[in-house]
């Protein structure tokens, strides 16, 4: 069955450093992959989408890579700030035609 | 004003009661979704609708029903609530009509439901 794995342990990063989050998947051949940010008690917010034919995508301090051979996406936040602390979810097509299946998310903590 | 709104934001109810959660959107999107989120389990799709006449079951539809009253409104019902339906419920929308649409989803603020 299709499976998405994100590191369930919280990731602690010092302010100013680069935070790197990992999303691994199995039994998928996704046409794209998405990343969302979720703050406590709030709905997820769409951040970035990367297509299968794209190796890398950037948006301000965010960078996403997509390796379809390794079945892995990396999500980087450069020059991290305490305001970047949140849970980050990756999502792949699935869960019904044109629906999304979400990973469980990684909780990122940026320490001042 | 928020693009995707959910009512109520919090609800406490008792086992066996009928509950309706409502979602409205002003984004003009054709697709709408209901998810539940539980600690350690992540987001799971309950139902989704691609237009007013289209309703589809998601991963965990048992015990739930939905109604798409209009393009902008999508409600979720628990006919007889049970404690394991205690969760955070999210409505989301997406637009299939855009030239470069890849199903980016826009979420409401959530409804925290507690079933005693």
> Using one digit for the tens of pLDDT, what is the confidence trace for B27-59?
999 999 999 999 888 899 999 998 898 999 988
Task: For chain B, say whether A41 makes contact (Cβ under 8 Å).
Answer: yes
| Planar angle of CA B16, B18, B19, nearest 5 degrees | 125
Are the CB atoms for B115 and B14 separated by under 8 Å? yes
With bands split at pLDDT 50, 70 and 90, how would you rate the model's confidence at A33?
very high
Name the more confident of A8 and B47. Answer: B47
Q: Who among A43, A100, A103 is closest to B109 (CB)? A: A43
Question: Which residues from chain A sit within 8 angstroms of residue B110, using beta carbons?
Answer: 41-43
Handedness of CA B16, B9, B69, B43 (dihedral sign): negative
Q: Is A93 left (phi over 0), alpha (psi -120 to 50) or beta?
A: beta
Record: contact B105-A100, CB cut-off 8 A:
yes
Task: For chain B, say whether A62 makes contact (Cβ under 8 Å).
Answer: no
With bands split at pLDDT 50, 70 and 90, how would you rate the model's confidence at A96?
low
pLDDT tens across A46-82, in order? 999 999 999 899 999 999 999 999 999 999 999 999 9
Per-residue confidence (pLDDT) for residue B88, from 0 to 100: 97
Are the CB atoms for B89 and A43 separated by under 8 Å? no
Per-residue confidence (pLDDT) for residue B42, from 0 to 100: 85
Per-residue confidence (pLDDT) for residue B100, from 0 to 100: 58
Q: What is the mean pLDDT of each run of 10 residues along chain B (116 residues)?
A: 90 97 95 92 91 90 95 96 97 80 88 97
Kindly report the nearest CA distance between residue B5 and chain A, in angstroms.
11
Of B39, B37, B40, B57, whose CA–CA distance to B48 is shortest? B57
Q: Concatenated DSSP letters for B57-97?
A: E-TT-TT-EEEEEETTEEEEEESS--GGG-EEEEEEEE-SS
- With H, G, I as helix, E, B as strand and everything else as coil, classify residue B40: coil
Residue B83, phi then psi, degrees to nearest 5: -55, -35
Of A33, A3, A77, whose CA–CA distance to B104 is shortest? A33
Kindly report the nearest CA distance between residue B97 and chain A, in angstroms.
13
Per-residue confidence (pLDDT) for residue A95, from 0 to 100: 58
Task: For chain B, say whether A105 makes contact (Cβ under 8 Å).
Answer: yes
Of A91, A62, A72, A80, whose CA–CA distance to B104 is shortest? A91
Question: Quick one: tokens of B22?
Answer: 């409502």
Per-residue confidence (pLDDT) for residue B98, from 0 to 100: 66
List A48's β-bridge partners, or say none: A35
3-state secondary structure A20-87: EEEEEEECCCCCEEEEEEECCCCCCEEEEEEECCCCEEEECCEEEEEECCCCEEEEEECCCCHHHCEE
């Amino acid at each position: 069955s299709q499976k998405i794995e994100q590191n369930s342990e919280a990731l602690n990063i010092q302010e100013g450093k680069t935070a790197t989050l990992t999303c691994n998947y199995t039994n998928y051949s996704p046409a794209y992959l998405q990343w969302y940010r979720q703050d406590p008690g709030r709905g997820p917010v769409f951040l970035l989408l990367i297509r299968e034919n794209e190796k890398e995508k950037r948006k301000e301090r965010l960078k996403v890579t997509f390796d379809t051979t390794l079945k892995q996406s990396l999500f980087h936040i450069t020059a991290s700030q305490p305001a970047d602390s949140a849970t980050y979810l990756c999502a792949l097509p699935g869960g019904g035609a044109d629906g999304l299946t979400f990973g469980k998310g990684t909780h990122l903590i940026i320490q001042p | 004003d928020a693009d995707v709104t959910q009512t109520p934001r919090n609800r406490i109810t008792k086992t066996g009661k009928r509950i309706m959660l409502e979602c409205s959107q002003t984004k003009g999107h054709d697709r709408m979704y209901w998810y539940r989120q539980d600690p350690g389990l992540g987001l799971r799709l309950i139902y989704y609708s691609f237009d007013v006449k289209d309703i589809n079951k998601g991963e965990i539809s048992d015990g739930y029903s939905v109604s798409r009253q209009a393009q902008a409104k999508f409600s979720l019902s628990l006919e007889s609530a049970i404690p394991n339906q205690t969760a955070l419920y999210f409505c989301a929308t997406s637009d299939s009509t855009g030239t470069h649409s890849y199903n980016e989803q826009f979420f409401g603020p959530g409804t925290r439901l507690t079933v005693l």
